[in-house]
Amino acid sequence: MIGRLNHVAIAVPDLAAAAEQYRGTLGADVGPPQDEPAHGVTVIFITLPNTKIELLHPLGDNSPIAGFLEKNPSGGIHHICYEVEDILAARDQLIAKGARILGSGEPKIGAHGKPVLFLHPKDFTGTLVELEQI
């Protein structure tokens, strides 16, 4: 069902400093900040030869990332994202196998402009999993 790893998302308390660390220290290809109001985050994508890193920072007081950063003030890995060919078929298959979909269960449009869903971390060894339709 799952395809390739699309990205690893890291919540950061200082987006500009994190971007500069990847750009200056690691020599990575760092994209521009991108506000995602529907998800309550500002993101920066770092393009690697085989995947991406997504830096996440709260956008507004109700951001789900704000709560994560309260618990992890230095930041940390927030979720991993896998690609799927058909997000609705993947959702239905996962539900049939007992996995829980966060939110309404209906896909939202993610930062790449494609449908995404999040899976409950308690069903995946404590890891928040995002699925993105390719």
pLDDT per position as a tens digit, 39-89: 999 999 999 999 999 999 999 888 999 999 999 999 999 999 999 999 999
4-51 pLDDT, tens digit each: 999 999 999 999 999 999 999 999 999 999 999 989 999 999 999 999
Any idea what DSSP says for residue 86? -
* pLDDT attached to residue 99: 97
Contact status, residue 107 vs residue 39, Cβ threshold 8 Å: no
* pLDDT attached to residue 61: 83
Q: At 60, which CATH number?
A: 3.10.180.10
130 included as an active-site residue: yes
Contact status, residue 80 vs residue 5, Cβ threshold 8 Å: yes
- Catalytic residue of the set 54, 83, 130, 132: 130
Residue 129: domain span: 5-133
* pLDDT attached to residue 62: 87
Number of domains in the chain: 1
List helix spans (H) across the chain.
15-20, 64-71, 87-96
